[in-house]
Amino acid sequence: MTISTTPLPVEVEAPVAKPAAKRSRLWAWLIFIAGALYFLVPLGATFWWSLRAEAGVLGFEAYRRLFDDANFWPSFTESVVNAVAAILLSLIIIVPTAYWVTLKLPRLRPVVEFITLLPFVIPAVVLVFGLIRLYGRPPLLLTATYDSSRVLLICAYAALSFPYMFRSVDNGLRAMDVRTLTEAALSLGAGWPTVMRRVIFPNLRVALLSGALLTFAIVIGELTIALFMAQQTFGPYMANLTRSKVYEPSAMAIVAFALTWVAMGTIALVTRPGRRR
Amino acid sequence: MSGGFLSLEGVRKEFDGVVAVDTFDLEVEPGEFVSFLGPSGCGKTTTLRMVAGFEEPTAGTIRLAGKDVTNAKPNERNIGMVFQSYALFPNMTVSENIAFGLRIRKEDSAARQERVDELLALIHLPDKGKAYPNELSGGQQQRVALARALAIRPQLLLLDEPLSALDAKIRDELRAEIRRIQRQLNITTIYVTHDQEEALALSDRVVVMSKGLMEQVGEPFEIYNNPATGFVASFVGQLNRLPVSVIDGEKGLVRAGQTELRTTSLVESPAGTEVSLMMRPEELTLDASEENVLDGTVESVTFLGSIVRVQVGVSVGRLTADLFNERLLKLPEVGDTTQISFPAHACWVMV
């Protein structure tokens, strides 16, 4: 009766499955903790170090010095303005493009998607040399003055934001049946500007915000391009600080982290599921 | 030429050289309810979209209330449109959705509110004005979409498969609702559907379409009982098709195997021609009580509630008979030998 023994392994296997599940959950936790430590220990150490600017006491002296630094606020504001300008430029280019591609030229989507991905593929150093070579000579001598270089920098940042911006806008458009909504609005008598203003933009708000905040987080600390274009923005300021000071860079790193987290937290807040409008 | 309120003359549409709609001619009277019926890809939606202005005809003319609107933009036509996917604006409340078109027409807010309340009452959703579309059921959303389309007092109402996304029960309710509202407002309506039951139940006239061409235009009763083409006959309702050969066209005599059958309708083919004899399943009875009688064997019996569908194999093919269910009905059994018969006026010949 050898055949009757075949069901047995199944019965043996069943009780084994439970401890296996438990063990895998244990592993999951271990990996999670290891990952969290990998991330948190340097951060904690940096924070700890930033508190030790005054000999013998733990305090926020490094932060005070940082915020008092004559170059901190100007470079920070300049970066914020650059970021906002880059976001606006990026929105003006990406939203109509994505809308039109979705509505009228869906076959071009892969092409547009690839183009918007290029900033991921091309290193910033290559990008900046390309820009300088192209725009640093007549007829478009954009690198001649500080302000014209700044315009070029903003354009470069807008390009850097394309991957994030296009993806969020595209997701937003896909989630809302653009074609039918547009047609419904048109049949009710709306013109194209009204369709954009009253139907497309309001329904894209969350997508636009997440794209904008990602762009902000990238632009605010960007170093390479700003450095090569001799711009006194936040990125070069931070790099310079690291070279010349001891405790302030750590304080700076913590501040930069906090900024990024605020941006990320805002995204999470506005995109959280179950939210209406 | 244009007598109708809406008139389409020789309308044709090509997409990249492929003909989607060809030689479409139709006159729609004011207040009339016309359905475009056909399988997917037959050009019914394309025709509707040309009337709405979302597609431009390759050739032909579309007139609305005497005005040539062939190339007019969709937002210049004053046409209300209802979509299969409802297409309510998710960022606006029900009231804001309904008021959208009025807002664009710059009506003042008091007039707008009055119109919105009027329409909410019309669609029986008086207290849903402040709700958002995602808080409503599919049926409710489609009612709101209907109200939104009607709010602008359109000259013409277009409905593109408005019930296809709904459950069977809601679909029947809303179907009756659409007809009630259409009658009440007496608004000229074009309704696109692939569901023959919907088209027959709702319409004053039905346009049956296939492969971009109009197959037949007529009242539902006429379409069902006197289908002009084989396509219409088989697409609208169930149909039996029996291969026969003509004996005497003038007397309407044909032969199915060894059995002689008679039809009262016109037989144009000469004697000896192989043709098809067509009849509706509900015209058949499982006895010899009618003029044309065939012998056969029951092949399957399907109980469908109000009717019982019986398939009977006869010498030259298979016939489907729909019997009305009664409590005393004795269901035939598979394998039974039976006689099946139908009157001479119930069948017709198709080549």
- Rounded to 5 degrees, φ, ψ at B71 are -110, 15
Q: What does the pLDDT read at residue B145?
A: 95
Q: Quick one: tokens of B182?
A: 């259409």
CA atoms within 13 A on the CB side of A217: 19
Instruction: Classify residue A152 as exposed, middle or buried by CB count within 10 Å of its CB (0-12, 13-18, 19+).
Output: buried
Q: Which of A4-13, A101-110, B112-121 has the lowest mean pLDDT?
A: A4-13
Q: Quick one: tokens of B60?
A: 């032909």
Nearest to B122 by CA among B102, B104, B106, B98: B98
Q: How many CB atoms lie within 10 A of CB A228?
A: 19
Beta-carbon separation of B104 and A186 below 8 A: no
Q: What does the pLDDT read at residue B64?
A: 93
Nearest to B151 by CA among A192, A193, A187, A277: A187
Q: Which of A85-94, A216-225, B93-102, B112-121 has the lowest mean pLDDT?
A: A216-225
Report if pTM > 0.80.
no
Q: What does the pLDDT read at residue B161?
A: 93
Task: Looking at the complex, report in whole angstroms how far the Cα of residue B95 sits from the nearest Cα belonging to chain A.
Answer: 15
Which H or E run contains A61?
A: helix A61-68
Q: Is the pLDDT of residue A17 over 80?
A: no
Nearest to B11 by CA among B36, B33, B39, B40: B36
Q: CA-CA distance, B217 to B219, in Å (whole number)?
A: 7
Instruction: Give me the residues of B, 124-143, that contact A with CB < 8 A.
Output: 132, 134
Q: What does the pLDDT read at residue A272?
A: 61
Interface test with A, best of B55, B56, B64, B75 (most A CBs within 10 A): B75
Q: What does the pLDDT read at residue A128?
A: 86
Task: Looking at the complex, report in whole angstroms how far the Cα of residue B89 sits from the nearest Cα belonging to chain A.
Answer: 7
Q: CA-CA distance, B26 to B32, in Å (whole number)?
A: 12
Q: CA-CA distance, A146 to A78, in Å (whole number)?
A: 12
Nearest to B265 by CA among B190, B146, B323, B346: B346
Nearest to B100 by CA among B65, B55, B67, B133: B133
ipTM above 0.85, yes or no: no
Interface test with A, best of B45, B91, B190 (most A CBs within 10 A): B91
Q: CA-CA distance, B271 to B63, in Å (whole number)?
A: 48
Q: Quick one: tokens of B42?
A: 């037959």
Nearest Cβ partner of B89 from A181, A189, A276?
A181
Q: How many CB atoms lie within 10 A of CB B279?
A: 23
Q: What does the pLDDT read at residue A214?
A: 85
Task: Looking at the complex, report in whole angstroms how far the Cα of residue A183 sits from the nearest Cα belonging to chain B.
Answer: 7
Beta-carbon separation of B74 and A186 below 8 A: yes
Q: C-alpha distances in angstroms, A213 versus A155, A202, A237?
A: 17, 17, 22
- Is the four-CA dihedral B324, B327, B328, B334 of positive or negative sign? positive
Q: What does the pLDDT read at residue B328?
A: 79
Q: Which residues of chain B have pLDDT under 70?
A: 1-3
If pLDDT is split at 50, 70 and 90, which confidence band does A111 have?
very high
Beta-carbon separation of A187 and B81 below 8 A: yes
Q: Which residues of A touch B (CB under 8 A)?
A: 176-177, 180-181, 183-191, 194, 198-199, 202-203, 276-277
Q: With beta carbons under 8 A apart, name residues in chain A contacting B69.
A: none
Q: What does the pLDDT read at residue A18?
A: 58
Q: Is the pLDDT of residue A3 over 50?
A: no
Q: What does the pLDDT read at residue A201?
A: 86
Q: CA-CA distance, B301 to A242, in Å (whole number)?
A: 87
If pLDDT is split at 50, 70 and 90, which confidence band does A5 have?
very low
